[in-house]
Structure 1
Amino acid sequence: MRSVTCFFLSIRVWRRLRNFYSTATILKDLWIKFMDFPTPEFSAVTTLDGQQMDYYDSETKKLIPRQVWMKEIASNGMWKKDSAIREHVAQIYKTNIAVLMQRFNQTRGVHTYQRMYGCGWDDETDIKYGFDQYGYDGEDFLTLDMKNSSYTASVPQAQTTVQKWNNREQLALLLLYFKHECIYWMKEFLNVSKAAFEKTEPPEVSLLQRNQDYYVECHVTGFHSRNTTITWRENGQAINDSRKLVKPGKILPNGDGTFQKNVTLYVLPDEWRMDQYACVVEHKSFTETIQKILTEDEIRIIKSKMYSSQKTFKTSMIVYRTAMGSTTSDKCASPPKACGL
């Protein structure tokens, strides 16, 4: 007697709004050494499903949209209020890092104090969760235990803060934020971004060749989602020959909230004149698949490395922030407000 057992693999896709604040002590001589690209003491970024939405730091003191669809939100009055909140949080974090240096018996050096918080949502089952984590000098400091509704210390130096923050009233406000307000803003951002995807122009696809060698680059720029798929196909079939495919380049940000990427193919002219090679770009937001067929007319010869006309943004720290909030309450528990240690 034979039996067959079938296993069904269910993959759950979570939508996530992540936030991470960071502040650091800056040594005077280090600041002077890197004056051309100074490191801000405080910085903040929001990401939605892994894509950066905005950026703030203590040097510019401006909240900058990183996605085209965020510019619509940035035009309303709440944007200035949200920028002011970031400035207020930066001051509190500067005080907190001084407190931590005392607790850890430190008098000098570069130190970092970070917070990552946000929420996740399964749009199929409607399961929701929140998270709130703090770190100091790259190590865990304290964490919010959502199940038990309390903060837990990761190091002895966090015990004082845990006793202060495990206030029943403030914890109740914090949990309400993660279960309702954070999820609400995540859904709002998802709706705005979805509507923007439906109205945006398709990405630009170019076939580039350096100095007439046998490597052909498919350069795609102007796409909005990191999940955009870029592949080379031979006669309509995906290419699996490692001799022809070169490792794809990294996804790089453009200055307008879009991305760019190169995927390189190694192929002899006689081959692509005999068979059809095409670079194919796909994403669920596209009305149709984008395809660029490799022909002599489509190839552009370049004599130097390809660079983006858009300025790319690089930061030494990636920091996430939460959705819009208010500063009218004296309570510090509900994000994006910050609490003293």
Structure 2
Amino acid sequence: MKFFFVFFIYVPFVYSELHTFMTTYTGINGQTFEGIPEFSAVTTLDGQQIDYYDSEIKKLIPRQDWMKYYAATDGWKVDSEIREQVQNIYKNNIQVLINRFNQTRGVHTYQRMYGCEWDNETEDSHGFDWYGYDGEDYVSLDLKELRYIAAVAQGIITIMKWDNNRAQLQLLQQYYRHECVDWLKKFLTMRKVDSERRAPEVSLLQKDPSSPVVCHATGFYPSAVTITWVRNGQEHHENVEVEEKLPNEDGTFQKTVILNVHPDDWKKDQFVCVVEHKGKTIRKILTEDKIKSNRNNWKMNQHFCVAEHKEKTIQ
């Protein structure tokens, strides 16, 4: 597996029975661009960022609204402290690797990606724990054989040391088999409970008086939604454009249906945007005072789990 150096992770929310829970630590040594921290930590659930930490802000930040409930617990403070500890360890580890690879200058990165996958249909799960250096694989943990594998010759010294700690390896095996999956399920439940409360927010939008009128529904979950334009009590399909449903970063969805109609027509006849979601109906009657229009700058809105073991130092 190739290791790719990343800072920000965004994958559109998709329906899948396979769920992934992953934490990525990234340490950097050398001159970097302004605004790029020397250490960052990102946790994702099904590809969506749920928390973030870096060496400049020096605190753990929830990236989803539903994570704020967890952020209010004592566990959040512990997680923040762990990030600070890992930050200091990474500073040392990068320097060890620079010497091991006989490098004297340049920007170098050390990264770890670990977590687990769980299939909620079969209940199958597996853990993963990968380390990379300068964008390439360095070492990885084989949980079946319960040993580390070196991807490069420089990693042999590391795996010899880590493989000798059998008690630590067994703790990791238990963690990836049970605790990691338990955290994954917990956060899935928190996300689901929060999302089930999400009814669509419906707005009528128009760039200027001569532009089409957009019926925009956003922030709803689950994704099934029906949006129709009704003219004088009858469904209206003429000059109506239905846009593709899109995911929002918080796991909810948005959808737009555009009505191309002259203002004289919708002022003479009654046009209503009807949004149906989870058995509930929202109606927006098209009138001038109901339209949201920002004509100068109009835009459409287009656990964390820490493995309960100490981050290892490289020697």
Q: TM-score, normalised by structure 1?
A: 0.70
Superimposed CA distance per residue, residues 196-233 of structure 1 (whole angstroms, 9 cap, x where no aligned partner): 334x452422121212344444444545x6x7467755
Residue aligned with 1:40, SS: coil
* Alignment partner of 1:186 is 2:184: yes
Partner amino acid, structure 1, of 2:313: G
Residues 227 and 276 in structure 2, CA contact (< 8 A), matched pair in contact too: no
**What are the residue-to-residue correspondences of 1:67-106 with 2, within 5 Å?**
67-106=64-103
Return the match for 1:171 from 163, 169, 172: 169
Stretches of structure 2 lacking an aligned partner (at least 5 in a row): 1-14
Q: How does 1:259-270 map to 2 (within 5 A)?
A: 263=256, 265=258, 267-269=260-262
> Secondary structure of 1:338's partner?
coil
Between the aligned partners of 1:58 and 1:308, the Cα distance in structure 2 is: 34
* Contact 2:141/2:149 (<8 A) preserved: yes
Other structure's SS at 2:145 match: coil
What is the alpha-carbon distance in structure 2 between the residues aligned to residue 307 and residue 244 of structure 1?
18
- Write the distance in 1 (CA, Å) between the matches of 2:96 and 2:226: 52
- Corresponding residue of 2:56: 59
Partner of 1:149: 146
Per the TM alignment, residue 64 of structure 1 is displaced from its structure 2 partner at its CA by: 1.4
Q: Residue 128 of structure 2: SS of its match in structure 1?
A: strand
Alignment of 1:338 with 2:311, yes or no, is yes
Q: How does 1:1-341 map to 2 (within 5 A)?
A: 13-27=17-31, 30=32, 34=34, 38-167=35-164, 168-198=166-196, 200=197, 202-223=199-220, 228=223, 233=228, 244=241, 251=247, 253=249, 263=256, 265=258, 267-269=260-262, 278=273, 280=275, 287-288=278-279, 295-296=286-287, 298-306=290-298, 322-324=304-306, 334=309, 337-341=310-314
Contact 2:228/2:257, CA 8 A, preserved across alignment: no
**Mapped contact 1:278–1:292 kept (Cα < 8 A):** yes
Cα offset for 1:146?
A: 2.6
The 8 Å contact of residues 27 and 38 in structure 2, kept in 1 or not, is answered as yes
Contact 2:208 2:293 in 1 (8 A): yes
Structure 1 residue 39, shift from structure 2 partner: 1.6
Q: Number of residues paired by the alignment?
A: 290
Is contact 1:23–1:112 with CA below 8 Å preserved after alignment?
Answer: yes
RMSD: 3.7
Q: TM-score, normalised by structure 2?
A: 0.75
- Shift of residue 106 of structure 1? 2.0
- Between the aligned partners of 1:204 and 1:228, the Cα distance in structure 2 is 13
1:8-46 C-alpha deviation (Å, 9 max, x unpaired): xxx96112211111111241xx55xx3xxx221111122
Distance 1:231 1:214, change over 3 A: farther
After TM superposition, give the deviation of residue 191 of structure 1 in Å.
2.6
Distance 2:57 2:137 in 1: 29
The answer (yes or no) to whether the contact 1:279–1:292 under 8 Å persists in 2 is: yes
How far residue 173 of structure 1 moved from its aligned partner, in angstroms, is 1.3
**Structure 1: gaps (5+ residues):** 1-10, 310-320, 327-333
On the 8 A contact 1:22/1:44 being kept in 2, the answer is yes
Letter in 1 for 2:312: C
Q: How far apart, CA to CA, are the structure 2 residues paired with 1:25 and 1:56?
A: 17
Alpha carbons of structure 1 residues 247 and 61: separation in structure 2 relative to 1, 3 Å: same
Alpha-carbon distance change, 134 to 301 in structure 1, aligned in 2, over 3 angstroms = same
Post-superposition shift, 1:132?
Answer: 1.0
Residue 140 of structure 1 deviates from its aligned partner by 2.0
Deviation of residue 275 (structure 1)?
A: 11
Describe the shift of the 1:118–1:181 C-alpha distance in structure 2 as closer, same or farther (beyond 3 A).
same
For 1:80, give the aligned amino acid: K
Greater mean deviation of Cα atoms: 210-219 or 106-115: 210-219
Is the CA contact (8 Å cut-off) linking 2:270 and 2:285 kept in structure 1?
A: no
CA distance in 2, matches of 1:308, 1:278: 17
Instruction: Provide Cα deviations, 1:166-187, integer angstroms capped at 9, x if missing partner.
Output: 2333221111100011111122
- Match of 2:26, as an amino acid? S
The answer to whether the Cα contact below 8 Å between 1:221 and 1:258 also exists between their aligned partners in 2 is no
Name the % identity.
42
Q: Which region of structure 1 is more displaced relative to structure 2, 46-55 or 294-303?
A: 294-303
For residue 101 of structure 2, what is the amino acid of its counterpart?
A: F
